[in-house]
Amino acid sequence: MASSDRRGPYICGIDAAMDVVSGKWKSLILWELANYGTRRFGELKRGLPGVSEKMLIQHLREMEQDGLLHREVYREVPPKVEYALTEHGRSLNEALGPLGEWGQRRAERLAAEGTPPPA
Amino acid sequence: MASSDRRGPYICGIDAAMDVVSGKWKSLILWELANYGTRRFGELKRGLPGVSEKMLIQHLREMEQDGLLHREVYREVPPKVEYALTEHGRSLNEALGPLGEWGQRRAERLAAEGTPPPA
DNA sequence: CAGAATCCGCCAAGATACTG
DNA sequence: CAGTATCTTGGCGGATTCTG
């Protein structure tokens, strides 16, 4: 278990939701699955440049336990596992929509105001 | 500087926003200021049970730098500082609305399904 | 291909004490 | 009252190696 052992008493709805999306790659996983519908482990890894296999599987497991995504295992010779959002995952992604737009505007604002990424 | 030195290249809008709200108490500070309009340091501290002064001031400073809130200092005999959301802060709070509702439903669901907070 | 297991660095966050 | 300064630590996340 990593950060998933909170499920604590929540002050308000926000941190109940944050408890589920906090984690460096979770929102990106959500975004990836929402766009592509279904993705394999390797596809996700390639789609998230810089993620380690450990963090990817860890986040995937936590999100599965949280009922956000479904994990389908195909018992074939080359192992194959597919991940897809559940209804809960899709609803979370929709709830994240306005926040994404806000962040988008913010990013554009930062770029315009002369705070370009140093590298 | 703590977590504020990212402002990196963002993959999508979500993590641009997450970069600003991530931090154990930020969403709660936002919620507190949105509800009360204006709050003093001590009021915020009392409103956020368990927060340390260090983390509170640290988060407040970062949110101020991010243009989310305004800090008004009154040079009086007992020092007095008031915090209030800026237009950006309010818009962020609005963008957080749907996520808050989602988390609210999730919390109710958890409570109903028999995952009551242990403590 | 899709993980599991292990070791480790680093930084967010906690605790404590001091100050204008 | 509203911070600041310093020390410490828990655990998130990275890198590497091994397996079904």
Which bases in strand D are touched by protein, i.e. have an atom under 7 Å from a CB?
1-6, 11-17, 20
Using the predicted structure, report yes or no on whether residue A112 has a pLDDT greater than 50: yes
Residue A115: pLDDT band (50, 70, 90) is low
Q: What is the pLDDT of residue A11?
A: 83
Q: What is the pTM of this model?
A: 0.89
Phi-psi domain of A25 (left: phi exceeds 0; alpha: psi -120 through 50; beta: other):
alpha
**pLDDT attached to residue B37:** 96
Dihedral over Cα of A68, A51, A48, A94: its sign: positive
Q: What is the pLDDT of residues A59-110, one digit of tens each?
A: 999 999 999 999 999 999 899 999 999 999 999 999 999 999 999 999 999 9
CB contact under 8 A, A110 and B7: yes
Q: Closest by alpha carbon to B10, among A111, A89, A85?
A: A111
At A1 the pLDDT is 40
Distance separating alpha carbons of residues A90 and B33, to the nearest angstrom: 30
Q: Which residue do the tokens 């770029």 mark?
A: A111
- Read off the pLDDT of residues A18-49 as tens digits, 9 standing for 90 and up: 999 999 999 999 999 999 999 999 999 999 99
- The pLDDT, as a whole number, for residue B10 is 85
CB contact under 8 A, A14 and B92: no
Ranges of chain B with pLDDT below 70: 1-5, 115-119
Q: Tell me whether B50 touches chain A (CB under 8 Å).
A: no
- The mean per-residue pLDDT over the stretch A2-6 comes to 53
**CB contact (8 A) between residue B8 and residue A117:** yes
Chain B residues closer than 8 Å to A106 by CB: 13, 16-17, 20
